[in-house]
Amino acid sequence: MSVCFAPCPVVFDLDGTLIDSAPDIHACVNAALNRYGYSPLELNQVRGFIGGGVGVLWDRIAAACDIDTTTKTAMLSAFMTRYENATELTILFDDVAKVLGTLADRGHPLGICTNKPLAPTKAVLRHFNLGNLFQTIVAGDTQPEKKPNPTPLRIALVNLGADPSQPNGVFVGDSEYDANCAAAIGVPFLLYSEGYRHTPIDRLPHRASFDRFVQLPALVEAEA
Ligand SMILES: O=C(O)COP(=O)(O)O
Ligand SMILES: [Mg+2]
């Protein structure tokens, strides 16, 4: 009798993993800063603030620019209005569309687990014609917890058919938030090394790292 294993679920982070969205986030941040009379920030600085979702982003901007809490709240809301449809300056990393298609063709259920809010997540996936590839999207405002809390990843894996008590599957991401979230529930983590990470690769818990998406299918199959 042969035993047949179904292809494992694969969950992806979004910002800094599938897409380079920092230029759009940077433009939306600077538009909000400008509206309230603050000087613009450099792209590198804003890129370094991405990963924990929009609340963390604006906490960091407020600390860097000495913005009070009431003004920060108003600026975050101005930022969101523009961010919800910010796709113009965003690019897919090389070979992402091709590799997602390969994994889907092999039967892997695909999902997204991002700290980015749901509206801009859906807008950018629609923009790149990727919306239909993902069977679940767990975004930064979908539930109370955000990465590195592992609850969003667990929900995404379970939505793709994984066992809630010990979810199988892999998580692909670029940051400390992703690595620690996967480690907390023992899910193999594949680190994309060209994203928005601050920590050296060898100091992050991960199963393997890659710098080109064409390397990913073989790394996923090694875990399946
Ligand atoms: O938008 C963020 O701050 C982080 O988004 P990510 O979880 O997709 O990296
Ligand atoms: Mg990321």
SS (H, E, C) the chain: CCCCCCCCCEEECCECCCEECHHHHHHHHHHHHHHCCCCCCCHHHHHHHCCCCHHHHHHHHHHHHCCCHHHHHHHHHHHHHHHCCCCCCCEECCCHHHHHHHHHHCCCCEEEECCCCHHHHHHHHHHCCCHHHCCEEECCCCCCCCCCCCHHHHHHHHHCCCCCCCCCCEEEECCHHHHHHHHHCCCCEEEECCCCCCCCHHHCCCCEEECCHHHHHHHHHHHC
Fold classification of 10-20+91-223 (topology level): Rossmann fold (3.40.50)
**What pLDDT does residue 165 have?**
87
* Mean of pLDDT values over 118-139: 97
Whether the CB of 142 sits within 6 Å of ligand 1 = no
Best of 61, 115, 151, 171 to mutate for ligand 1, by most ligand atoms within 8 A of CB?
115
pLDDT tens-digit series, residues 131-160: 999 999 999 999 999 999 999 999 999 999
Tell me how crowded residue 106 is: count the other CB atoms within 10 A of its CB.
Answer: 13
**What pLDDT does residue 2 have?**
36
**What pLDDT does residue 4 have?**
43
Q: Where are the beta strands (DSSP E) in 29-147?
A: 91-92, 110-113, 136-138
* Mean of pLDDT values over 82-101: 98
Atom of ligand 1 nearest to the CA of 174: 9
**What pLDDT does residue 1 have?**
37
Catalytic annotation, residues: 13
Whether the CB of 121 sits within 6 Å of ligand 1 = no
Which backbone phi and psi does 63 adopt, to 5 degrees?
-65, -40
Is residue 3 scored above 70 in pLDDT?
Answer: no
Cis peptide before 148 (omega within 30 of 0): yes
pLDDT tens-digit series, residues 197-219: 999 999 999 999 999 999 999 99
* Mean of pLDDT values over 168-181: 98
Q: Is the pTM of this model over 0.80?
A: yes
pLDDT tens-digit series, residues 32-91: 999 999 999 999 999 999 999 999 999 999 999 999 999 999 999 999 999 999 999 999
* Mean of pLDDT values over 24-29: 98
Is residue 177 scored above 50 in pLDDT?
Answer: yes
Whether the CB of 114 sits within 6 Å of ligand 1 = yes
Q: What's the gap in Å between 192 CA and the centre of ligand 2?
A: 9
Tell me how crowded residue 23 is: count the other CB atoms within 10 A of its CB.
Answer: 16
Atom of ligand 1 nearest to the CA of 52: 3
The count of residues in the chain is 224
Atom of ligand 1 nearest to the CA of 147: 7
Domain boundaries, the chain: 10-20+91-223, 22-83
- Domain 22-83: CATH superfamily is Putative phosphatase; domain 2 (1.10.150.240)
Q: What is the ipTM of this complex?
A: 0.99
Whether the CB of 111 sits within 6 Å of ligand 1 = no
Structure tokens at 126: 């629609």
Of 59 and 224, more confident? 59
**What pLDDT does residue 134 have?**
98
